[in-house]
Chains A and B, each alone.
Chain A
């Protein structure tokens, strides 16, 4: 049973290549309150490892990283 996260905002980075998904994620997460969740969608195959590195570097929590219908979906909680 996978945890279900309720997002507070959705960010669609479909079609974008490096480094725009992480740039957009940074901009979007700053508009959220601490504790809120961002759902991000990307098609760049480099996004899964990059979003893991991004979350380690920024301290925001990557709650879930999955692949659905050829798209990568991330749930990220703003931690600080």
Chain B
């Protein structure tokens, strides 16, 4: 448990390790929901997840290597939208612009269904005082600078995250 104080808020510690559009959602959704319930939340953004702390988010999604990803159209009659297009991975790999297309289709689908954008979700996390910790080591490896990231985040290493996570009630790696 987080502490001996029974009235202390619950605590959630997340690691966000992926920077694609599909995998950007889980940490921000869980963090904002936990924040809304009064929990103390921290997210450690490491490796490709670190790019989710850039001011302008460019997260994209690729159907390549994602065989379970539904390939559906966000427009047209219901029957058309429900078709799961059987596009072979080889086609996806070789058609220029396929990732851009898949990304824009996913964004459109999410918007149509009422899912907030990643930018909105991240802003909610900031408003809920979620600790956003960027990984120093990843910055060094990929050549990022502090000013490449939003001012609301802090920069730290494994020890910073582990200290936060050590007494968290829920810890998840995404």
A→B interface (CB under 8 Å): 15-20, 22-23, 25-26, 44, 50, 53-54, 57-58
Contact = CB atoms under 8 A, between A and B. Distances in A.
Contacts of B115: 17
Interface string B97-139: 0000000000000000111100001001000100000000000
Contacts, number: 44
Nearest to B116: A20
B32 A58 contact: no
A23 B36 contact: yes
A4 to B, nearest CB: 28
A42 to B, nearest CB: 10
B33 A22 contact: yes
Contact of A22 (B10, B36, B113): B36
B45 interface: no
Interface residues on B, range: 10 to 19
B38 A57 contact: yes
B114 A25 contact: no
A53 B33 CA distance: 11
Given A20-B116, A23-B33, A57-B10, 13 more contacts: A15-B114, A18-B33, A19-B33, A19-B36, A19-B121, A23-B32, A23-B36, A23-B124, A25-B36, A26-B128, A57-B38, A57-B39, A58-B36
B33 A58 contact: no
